[in-house]
Amino acid sequence: MSTATTTTRPSASRAWVIARTELRLIARSKATLVSATAFPLMFAAFVIAQAETARNAAVGMICMVLAFFALFAIYLTATTTLVTRRQDLFLKRLRSGETGDGAILAGVLAAPLVLFLAQVTVVAGVLVALDIPAPSRPWWLLAAVVGLVASTLTAATATAAITPNASAAQISTMPYITVVLGSLVAGPLVESPYLDLTPGGALVTLVRAAYDLELAGNPGFAIAGLALWTWVGVDLTRRLFRWEPRH
């Protein structure tokens, strides 16, 4: 057995332990549970009430659902969790042991990711039950989900790096949320390939490509845009993230 293999397994195990702890904490938080379940349930009710309209607007709904779930389940939850864990010295205690930085971040971020996947699964089940058309090019939809998740997770760690406390997260998260939602709304209305460089615009282009609809942008350019946002998030995290409380 190689050294790399023996090193990776303990790291993955420690990350999983942290993830389970975070999931238990989320399960005990009524506010988090309500926000994690309310959105998919409200969306399901909306789709059932507007079934015919939903069939004609599948692309717009999918874009909206993915963006909102990524922002609320991943971005806000991950940012607030990282800031809170840093302020109560939880991250510092973990780091003083044998757990590596990557395993710590992976463990903390895994819980919001599980929330996101659970929400998407619920909504996907509703869409299937209502015979909403499946994408003819599902690989573009997969690329949209992977790119959105990656860029949102790294945006969360970067935002947490500059956020002094959990209360301030309500303000520090607004710029990214505004960019995502603004570009999401502009995506279908503005015919510009440069929108693919924004998270929302890239999402619209990739989902429309999955359904083989007319495109204002380019799927390859959209993937590059999401990759760029991911890289920026990683770079900012490496340079700015602190493991001890910010003052």
Of 212, 186, 211, 218, nearest to 201 by C-alpha is 186
Q: Distance (Å, rounded) from C-alpha 146 to C-alpha 152?
A: 10
Is pLDDT above 70 for 33?
A: no
* pLDDT tens digits for range 180-231: 999 998 866 777 778 889 999 999 999 989 988 777 678 999 999 999 999 9
* 24 against 88, higher pLDDT: 88
CA–CA distance from 81 to each of 43, 77, 186, 232 (Å)? 25, 6, 30, 21
Share of residues in the chain with pLDDT > 70 (%):
80
Copy the structure tokens of residue 198: 């924004």
Helices 174-186, 58-69: crossing angle, 10 deg rounding: 170
* Per-residue pLDDT, 46: 67
Stated pTM of the model:
0.85
Is pLDDT above 90 for 59?
A: no
* 20 against 113, higher pLDDT: 113
* pLDDT tens digits for range 83-138: 988 888 878 887 777 677 778 888 888 888 988 888 888 888 877 777 777 888 99
118 three-state secondary structure: helix
* pLDDT tens digits for range 156-187: 999 999 998 888 888 999 999 999 999 998 86
- Specify the DSSP class assigned to residue 2: -
Tell me the residue type at 172.
S
Of 198, 84, 117, nearest to 151 by C-alpha is 198
* Per-residue pLDDT, 6: 43
What average pLDDT is seen over the chain?
Answer: 81
Q: Distance (Å, rounded) from C-alpha 242 to C-alpha 86?
A: 8
User: What pLDDT band is residue 142 in, cutting at 50, 70 and 90?
Assistant: very high
Copy the structure tokens of residue 160: 């947490």
Q: Distance (Å, rounded) from C-alpha 37 to C-alpha 164?
A: 28
* Per-residue pLDDT, 2: 45
